[in-house]
C-alpha cells in the first residue's frame, strides 16, 4: 500500500504572490518528494522581441518582463546592444544606472522581507515594511517619473538627468530608510516570530549550494561567495564601496539577514553616488545596426540575470535569450523542501523570493 | 509588555499613513510622466515620433480635412492613443522641435468606458494607416 499522500501548493494559494505549482509528496508531515511547474504566466516575450519590435524598442519590452527588477532587465539588454554597436557610455550615465539598480534592489528586498513576515503571521510588520518601502518608490518616481515601469535606460545612456534639488531630497529619504532598516535588523534578530522560529528551517548547506547551482541571496546565505557585482568590470561597483554579504547558516533567518545587510550596503552605495555624481553627458548617440552576438550578466535582486542577444545587421534581432535567476535556482528550491514539514512550505517559499513572471516570461 | 501596550494605545490616536484619496488629491510631481501633448502649428510632419514610438501609439493618417499647416503636404492628421502609450517619452526625444510640437505633460488620461470605442476606433485607424 502507498504510504505517502500528495498535497499540491498552488497554482493558486493564499501564500503565493504569483502562480507556481509545487506538488509535495508527504509522509505524515514530512515532505519526501517535490515536483514543480512554473509556466503559468508565459507571455512570449522572447518571441515578441524578435518578431514585433525593432531593436531600439526591445529595451522597453523586456522591462515589462518583471515589475520588480525592470531596471535590471532593460539594463542587461541595453548593455548587450551597446556591446554590439560599440557605444561607450559616459561615466555619469553609468553612475545613474547603478543608482537605479541599487534602489531597485532595496525595494525588491523590502518586498521579500515583508512577505516573509506575512508568512510568519506577523501582519503588523508586513504593513510597516510596505509602508516604509513607499519612500523608495517615491525616490524612484522623482528620478524616473514613474513608480514601477521606469523606462529610464536607453541605448547610449539614461533618459533623465538628476538635479541637485532631487539629489538632496533623495539623500534625506535614504537617511530615514537607513534608520528604519536598522530597526528591522533588530526585529529580525531578536523577535521570536521572526528569528528563532526561522532558525534551522529550510537550510541549504554550502556543499548543496555548489551542487545545485544556487545563486543570489540564496547562495550567499549558505556562505557561497557569488555575486556578479563583484565579477563585472562594466559598472563601477568597486569604487562605490560594494561589499559582499555572506552568512553561514543557510536557513530562512540567514536569508533575511543577508537581504537586510544588502539593503544597508546598497543604501551606502546610493549615498556614495549622490555625493559625487560626475559631470558629463547623460546620453551618447549610437549609429548602425547590431550585428554579432553578445552575452551580458548582471546581478538582479534575486541573483544572476543573463541576456544573450544575436543581431544580423537589420533592425530586427535574430534571438533574445533571457535566463532569469529564479529559473536557475529551481533545483536548489526543490532540494530545500525535502525533509521539511509541509506546514513550513509557504514560509520557505517566501524566503526564496521567487519571481515567476520573470521565469515564465 | 508595557511598551507594546503603550505603543498600541498611542497608535490608536495616530494619523493613518495613507491619504483620504478621492477627497485629498494625490500630490503630483511636475516631472511625473504623463500624457504626450501635441502642438499642430509647430509640427513639421517629419513622422519621426511615429517611427520612434515602441507600442505604435502615434499614427499619421490621411484625412479629408487636413490642417492649414503648410508643412502638411500629404494631408495627414496626427492621432494619439493615450491607452496604448507607455509614456516612455521616446517620441519627444526623437522630435526635432520638442516643447513646441511635442512634449510630455504630467496629466493622467481620462478613464475610458466601453461607449468611447477606444479600441475599435484605433483599429480602424491602424487599418487606414497600413493601406
Give the pLDDT of residue A66. Answer: 83
Cβ neighbours of residue A93 under 8 Å, at least 6 residues apart?
Answer: A156, A157, A158, A280, A281, A282, A283, A284
Q: Answer yes or no: do B29 and A159 touch at CB < 8 A.
A: no
Test mutation, B16, B56, B86, chain A, max A CBs within 10 A: B86
Place of cell 528551517: A201
Alpha-carbon distance of A349 to A337, in angstroms, equals 9
Say which of B29, B88, B93 has its CB closest to residue A60. Answer: B88
In Å, how far from its chain's centre is CA A139?
18
CA angle A350, A112, B88 (to 5 degrees): 130
Q: pLDDT band at residue A232, thresholds of 50, 70 and 90?
A: confident
CB atoms within 10 A of CB B24: 8
Whole-model pTM? 0.87
Q: pLDDT band at residue A235, thresholds of 50, 70 and 90?
A: confident
Q: pLDDT band at residue A212, thresholds of 50, 70 and 90?
A: confident
pLDDT digits (tens, 9 = 90+) for A87-128: 888 888 888 888 888 888 898 899 988 888 888 778 888 888
Give the pLDDT of residue B104. Answer: 86
Alpha-carbon distance of A48 to B54, in angstroms, equals 12
Residues of A in contact with B29 (CB under 8 A): 141-142, 145
What b/e readout covers A305-330, taking b as 16+ CB neighbours within 10 angstroms? bbbebbbeeeeebeebebebbbbbbb
Q: Are A244 and A134 in contact (CB under 8 A)?
A: no
Give the pLDDT of residue A340. Answer: 83
Alpha-carbon distance of A78 to A226, in angstroms, equals 24
Over 80: is that where the pLDDT of B30 sits? no
Does A183 touch chain B if contact means CB atoms closer than 8 Å?
A: no
Q: Answer yes or no: do A151 and B86 touch at CB < 8 A.
A: yes
Q: Answer yes or no: do B93 and A57 touch at CB < 8 A.
A: no
Residues of B in contact with A148 (CB under 8 A): none
Alpha-carbon distance of A222 to A209, in angstroms, equals 7
Lookup: cell for A297: 550578466
Give the pLDDT of residue A152. Answer: 86
Please report how the helices A91-119 and A70-85 are oriented relative to each other, as an axis angle in degrees rounded to 10.
150
Residues of A in contact with B86 (CB under 8 A): 60, 149, 151
Could you give the C-alpha distances from B52 to A24, A55, B46, in angstroms and in order? 49, 11, 12
pLDDT digits (tens, 9 = 90+) for A236-258: 888 888 888 888 888 888 888 88
Residue of chain B with shortest Cα separation from A124: B8
The three-state secondary structure class of A300 is strand
Lookup: cell for A140: 524612484
Phi, psi (5° rounding) for residue A158?
Answer: -125, 165
Cβ neighbours of residue A306 under 8 Å, at least 6 residues apart?
Answer: A76, A295, A296, A297, A321, A322, A323
Whether the bond into B101 is cis, omega within 30 of 0: no
Over 80: is that where the pLDDT of A1 sits? no
User: Residue A126: left (phi > 0), alpha (psi -120 to 50), or beta?
Assistant: alpha
pLDDT digits (tens, 9 = 90+) for B41-92: 888 888 888 888 888 888 888 877 777 777 777 778 888 888 888 888 888 8
pLDDT digits (tens, 9 = 90+) for A125-147: 888 888 888 888 888 888 888 88
Q: Answer yes or no: do A145 and B31 touch at CB < 8 A.
A: yes
Please tell me the distance in Å from A358's CA to the nearest CA on chain B. 20
Give the pLDDT of residue A183. Answer: 86
Ordered by start, the domain boundaries in chain A are 5-360
Lookup: cell for A101: 539598480
Q: Answer yes or no: do A145 and B32 touch at CB < 8 A.
A: yes
Q: Domain A5-360 is classified in which CATH homologous superfamily? A: Cytochrome-c3 Hydrogenase, chain B (1.10.645.10)
Over 80: is that where the pLDDT of A150 sits? yes
Q: Answer yes or no: do A60 and B90 touch at CB < 8 A.
A: yes
Q: Which fold has domain B32-130?
A: Alpha-Beta Plaits (3.30.70)
Does A200 touch chain B if contact means CB atoms closer than 8 Å?
A: no
Sign (positive or negative) of CA dihedral A39, A121, A103, A353: negative
Alpha-carbon distance of A46 to A58, in angstroms, equals 10
Could you give the C-alpha distances from B68 to B61, B71, B76, B96, B97, in angstroms and in order? 16, 9, 11, 20, 19
The three-state secondary structure class of B98 is strand
Could you give the C-alpha distances from A143 to A29, A103, A136, in angstroms and in order? 49, 11, 11
Lookup: cell for A111: 518586498
Count of pairs with CB atoms under 8 A, one residue in A, one in B: 36
Mean pLDDT of chain A: 85
pLDDT digits (tens, 9 = 90+) for A329-351: 888 888 888 888 888 888 888 88
Residues of B in contact with A141 (CB under 8 A): 29, 32
Alpha-carbon distance of A175 to A141, in angstroms, equals 18
Amino acid at each position: 500500500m502507498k504510504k505517502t499522500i500528495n498535497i499540491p501548493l498552488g497554482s493558486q494559494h493564499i501564500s503565493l504572490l504569483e502562480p507556481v505549482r509545487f506538488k509535495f509528496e508527504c509522509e505524515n508531515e514530512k515532505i519526501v518528494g517535490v515536483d514543480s511547474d512554473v509556466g503559468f504566466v508565459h507571455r512570449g516575450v522572447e518571441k515578441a522581441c524578435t518578431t514585433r519590435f525593432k531593436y531600439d524598442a526591445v529595451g522597453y519590452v523586456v522591462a515589462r518582463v518583471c515589475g520588480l527588477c525592470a531596471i535590471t532587465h532593460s539594463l542587461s539588454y541595453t548593455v548587450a546592444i551597446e556591446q554590439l554597436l560599440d557605444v561607450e557610455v559616459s561615466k555619469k550615465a553609468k553612475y545613474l544606472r547603478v543608482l537605479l539598480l541599487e534602489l531597485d534592489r532595496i525595494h525588491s528586498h523590502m518586498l521579500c522581507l515583508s512577505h516573509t513576515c506575512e508568512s510568519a503571521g506577523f501582519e503588523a510588520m508586513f504593513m510597516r515594511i510596505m509602508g516604509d518601502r513607499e519612500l523608495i518608490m517615491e525616490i524612484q518616481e522623482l528620478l524616473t517619473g514613474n513608480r514601477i515601469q521606469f523606462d529610464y535606460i536607453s541605448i547610449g545612456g539614461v533618459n533623465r538627468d538628476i538635479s541637485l534639488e532631487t539629489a538632496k531630497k533623495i539623500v534625506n529619504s535614504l537617511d530615514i530608510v537607513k534608520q528604519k532598516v536598522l530597526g528591522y535588523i533588530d526585529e529580525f534578530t531578536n523577535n521570536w516570530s521572526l528569528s528563532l522560529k526561522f532558525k534551522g528551517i529550510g537550510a541549504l548547506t554550502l556543499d548543496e549550494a555548489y551542487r545545485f547551482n544556487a545563486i543570489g541571496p540564496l547562495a550567499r546565505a549558505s556562505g557561497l561567495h557569488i555575486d556578479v557585482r563583484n565579477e563585472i568590470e562594466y559598472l563601477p561597483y568597486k569604487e562605490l564601496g560594494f561589499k559582499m554579504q555572506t552568512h553561514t547558516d543557510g536557513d530562512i533567518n540567514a536569508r533575511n539577514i543577508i537581504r537586510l545587510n544588502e539593503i544597508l550596503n546598497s543604501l551606502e552605495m546610493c549615498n556614495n553616488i549622490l555625493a559625487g555624481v560626475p559631470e558629463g553627458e547623460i546620453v551618447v548617440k549610437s549609429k548602425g545596426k547590431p550585428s554579432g552576438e553578445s552575452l551580458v550578466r548582471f546581478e538582479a535582486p534575486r541573483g544572476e540575470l543573463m541576456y544573450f542577444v544575436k543581431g544580423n545587421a537589420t533592425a530586427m534581432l535574430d534571438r533574445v535569450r533571457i535566463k532569469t535567476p529564479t529559473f536557475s535556482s529551481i533545483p536548489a528550491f526543490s532540494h530545500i523542501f525535502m525533509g521539511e514539514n509541509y506546514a513550513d512550505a509557504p514560509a520557505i517559499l517566501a524566503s526564496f523570493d521567487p519571481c515567476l513572471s520573470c521565469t515564465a516570461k | 509588555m508595557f511598551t507594546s501596550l503603550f505603543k498600541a494605545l498611542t497608535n490608536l490616536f495616530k494619523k493613518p499613513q495613507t491619504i483620504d484619496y478621492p477627497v485629498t488629491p494625490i500630490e503630483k510631481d511636475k516631472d511625473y510622466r504623463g500624457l504626450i501633448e501635441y502642438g499642430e502649428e509647430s509640427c513639421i510632419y517629419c513622422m519621426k515620433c511615429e517611427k520612434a514610438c515602441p507600442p505604435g501609439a502615434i499614427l499619421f493618417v490621411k484625412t479629408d480635412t487636413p490642417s492649414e499647416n503648410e508643412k502638411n503636404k500629404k494631408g495627414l492628421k496626427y492621432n494619439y492613443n493615450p491607452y496604448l502609450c507607455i509614456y516612455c517619452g521616446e517620441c519627444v526625444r526623437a522630435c526635432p522641435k520638442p516643447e513646441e510640437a511635442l512634449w510630455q505633460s504630467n496629466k493622467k488620461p481620462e478613464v475610458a468606458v466601453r461607449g468611447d470605442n477606444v479600441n475599435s476606433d484605433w483599429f480602424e485607424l491602424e487599418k487606414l494607416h497600413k493601406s
